[in-house]
């Protein structure tokens, strides 16, 4: 009998649908995965769903195992936790994380299924892709012990960056966000909180993760003399104004881009993508991170709920529970 799988496809602008399709037999060297949980990465997926991936970035923005092409129709996503149900006997039953679109069962090469540490519940492991991004940002930021750090934008990635920076000895980390309701989340992750009007100044390192012009201006105001500002936002096809007047030059500020598609240059000789993802999974052995799960939807209901999840500014990590 032919095995069917079901996947979420974007048929048009903010138009999601579940499609059934046949699933080929498992090839030699591959594994069959039954999905248990997934996660929606609101920032990137909202841009994809709105058709706002610039044509120049079509190839660079392809997700692993993506089907279809930008803008539409496209099968997109990159966070699935599942169980191996077919493959080598020693791996049957293993719980793994895969960078794979939203789909209820699929096959991948064995090396694409990364084991989840015993200390990390499957429900929390869906944060792995975003934690990998946060880890890369912290590397690019070169945060050191005792640094005063501001993270402007308290979304999922901003909160994960804050949680990592707060683990560095003697670092003082402030999450800056317009939503005062994020203060409780910041406190749970050992970070201070400030509204943009009360953002700290004279910071050693600033991470901007709000994907807004106003947030970028706030981030520049937070930076002290010769400070490093890491731009972690992705704006899709939008152009943004960067306020480089005023004291920008006299303070000799640096703006550095961070993007998870590349490892920082100083780590490429020793690190590869699998090692980074494995490290990100290990970093999820922290029960405090459960506060970042802001909602959950059953996969069978996902198409109807998808646009609303993406448009809700309260969304941090929205988890998918596979039926």
Q: Is 133 left (phi over 0), alpha (psi -120 to 50) or beta?
A: alpha
The rounded radius of gyration (Å) of the Cα atoms in the chain is 20
**What would the CATH number be for the domain defined by 130-265?**
3.40.50.720
Residue ranges, comma separated, of all CATH 3.40.50.720 domains in the chain are 130-265
Q: Alpha carbon 248 to chain centroid distance?
A: 30
**What would the CATH number be for the domain defined by 3-127+284-321?**
3.90.180.10
Residue ranges, comma separated, of all CATH 3.90.180.10 domains in the chain are 3-127+284-321
| Contact by Cβ (8 Å): 153, 233 | yes
**pLDDT at residue 1 above 60?**
no
Report the mean per-residue pLDDT for the chain: 97
Residue-wise pLDDT for 122-158, tens only, equals 999 999 999 999 999 999 999 999 999 999 999 999 9
- Cis bond before residue 73 (omega within 30° of 0): yes
Residue-wise pLDDT for 70-125, tens only, equals 999 999 999 999 999 999 999 999 999 999 999 999 999 999 999 999 999 999 99
- Average of pLDDT values for 198-213? 98
Is the pTM higher than 0.95? yes
User: What is d(CA 287, CA 240) in angstroms, rounded to the nearest whole number?
Assistant: 37
């Amino acid at each position: 009998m032919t095995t069917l799988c079901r996947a979420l496809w974007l048929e048009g602008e903010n138009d999601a649908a579940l499609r059934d399709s046949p699933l080929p037999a498992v090839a030699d060297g591959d594994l069959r995965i039954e999905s248990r949980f997934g996660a929606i990465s609101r920032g990137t997926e909202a841009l994809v769903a709105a058709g706002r991936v610039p044509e120049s970035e079509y190839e660079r923005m392809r997700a692993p195992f993506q089907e279809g092409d930008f803008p539409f129709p496209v099968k997109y996503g990159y966070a699935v936790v599942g169980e191996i149900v077919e493959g080598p006997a020693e791996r049957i039953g293993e719980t793994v994380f895969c960078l794979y679109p939203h789909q209820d069962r699929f096959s991948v090469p064995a090396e694409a299924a990364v084991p989840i540490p015993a200390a990390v519940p499957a429900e929390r492991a869906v944060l792995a892709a975003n934690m990998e991004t946060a880890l890369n940002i912290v590397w690019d930021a070169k945060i050191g012990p005792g640094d005063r750090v501001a993270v402007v934008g308290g979304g999922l990635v901003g909160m994960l960056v804050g949680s990592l920076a707060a683990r560095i000895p003697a670092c003082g980390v402030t999450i800056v966000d317009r939503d005062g309701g994020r203060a409780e989340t910041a406190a749970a992750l050992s970070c201070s909180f400030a509204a943009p009007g009360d953002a700290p100044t004279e910071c050693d390192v600033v991470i901007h993760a709000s994907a807004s012009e106003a947030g970028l201006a706030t981030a520049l105001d937070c930076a002290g003399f010769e400070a490093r500002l890491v731009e972690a936002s992705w704006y899709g096809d939008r152009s943004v104004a960067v306020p480089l007047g005023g004291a920008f030059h006299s303070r000799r500020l640096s703006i550095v881009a961070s993007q998870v598609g590349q490892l920082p240059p100083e780590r490429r000789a020793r690190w590869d993508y699998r090692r980074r993802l494995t490290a990100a999974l290990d970093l999820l052995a922290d029960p405090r991170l459960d506060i970042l799960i802001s909602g959950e939807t059953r996969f069978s209901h996902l198409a109807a709920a998808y646009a609303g999840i993406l448009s809700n500014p309260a969304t941090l990590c929205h988890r998918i529970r596979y039926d």
